[in-house]
Amino acid sequence: YQRRVRGTANSTDTIAKPLLDRMEVLRLSGYVSSEKVQIAQKYLIPKILEKFGLKEAGYDISISDSALLSLANEYCREAGIRNLEKKLEAIFRKIALEVARAKDREKGVTTEQQGEAAAATATATGTVQAQDGQETKPNDEPIIEQEEEEENDEERFRDAKSERERQKRQTRAPPKKMELTKKDLVKYLGKARFMSERYYEKTPIGVVTGLAWSELGGSTLYIETVIAPHTEKKISITGKLGDVMQESVSLAYTYAKSHLARTAPDNDFFVKNSVHMHFPEGAVPKDGPSAGIAIITSLISLARGIPIKQELAMTGEVTLTGLVLAVGGIKEKLVAAQRSGIKTVLLPLQNKSDVYELDRQIVAGMDIHFVETYDQVEKLVFEEITQRADQSASSSQVTVQSENNESENRNEENSRDEKEGEESSTDYIPPTISSV
């Protein structure tokens, strides 16, 4: 008899290596936002309505697709739907509480409200109950004190009335049929947990958008590089990087220097300057080799003084000779790019088959380029370099074309001269050309 244990995890990093070695790991990609919306509409919402008795009470409450999309992107970006179900239960639980409070209010006035009503009646008739239980007339008191007490009673009466109206509005039963929108999410769930991942509307020099994979799925990863005060250390890095990513930065710095020396020999930026590279969200651990081409691009952008193409992101491991290698988490990374409004994405050529297996909705509206070497990356990323190359190519084509036209004109003139010479005299003997 063998006992088999099944378990789920968002990451295998926290599992002991001897145990992980004896396990069969099945890696399943997470749900994208559009899939979460469909699951919520078809399965989660009907189940929760029945769970809290709202369906039995005759309530038909739905949530719009746009609200569910905001819920998935701004409140629960986890790969699964467990947290999405919890948020939906929190919404419908509060709606059920509103229904219950409204029913309690319909039964009649509470004891506290009855006491307030009796006090208001006594004030209106001019009768005041003394502490010893005897009724006294306000005329027995001085006129000034009587007026002050009347004003205080009126003020308390107004306050009690406004409080009852406020409670009435809060305990008002929701309509039997309604659709919740994006505005209702703040009312029932509070402020959004996740904000926009896009830091820059226009990417400055030295800044590149990479794509990363985490336990929550895909996310954008900004890489910022600036000139630092000249120190013995040529490059400084911050952002809570793991060992693998620190090695990627070291490799990228070496390749960037060799690449710049090869493509722009007159550029001595790395000889004269020290740089500081930072990965934002410093409290979040970051590791992995997939940011290689993005790190190199950030360094080249700063060295050349040219910003990269706008609305562009990339991912890919790079070797010391400039080859771009395959990476994982392509689906999650493309979802993160689409969520951030990225229009152009650079991926390793070896990941081409992974993209073809994805749903069209994930890659809709994105221009995906597959690269094999970093030279291809540079041509796609830096528009100014590409424009210069196109201009030089077009000028060389114009020069070749003009030379061809001139040679054709000379050939035509020579042919005409030969024909005229033949027609003018048959006794003409051309001069002898001797070779030296």
Which residues are known to be catalytic? 290, 333
Residue 378: burial class (beta carbons within 10 Å; 0-12, 13-18, 19+): buried
The total number of residues written for the chain in this structure: 436
CA separation for the pair 227, 329 (Å, rounded): 32
CA separation for the pair 335, 330 (Å, rounded): 9
Q: Residue 169: enclosing H or E segment and its boundaries? A: helix 143-170
Report the candidate in 14, 33, 19, 117 with the shortest Cα–Cα distance to residue 362: 33
CA separation for the pair 292, 135 (Å, rounded): 89
Cβ neighbors of 120 (< 8 A, separation 6 or more) are: 157, 160
Alpha-helical regions (H) of 52-142: 65-74, 82-106, 111-125
End-to-end CA distance of the chain: 103
- Whole-angstrom CA distances from 273 to 153, 264, 280, 294, 301 are 78, 16, 22, 20, 14
CB neighbours of residue 201 within 10 Å: 8
Query: What order do you get walking across the sheet with 344-348 strand by strand?
Result: 235-238, 274-278, 217-228, 207-214, 312-314, 344-348, 367-371
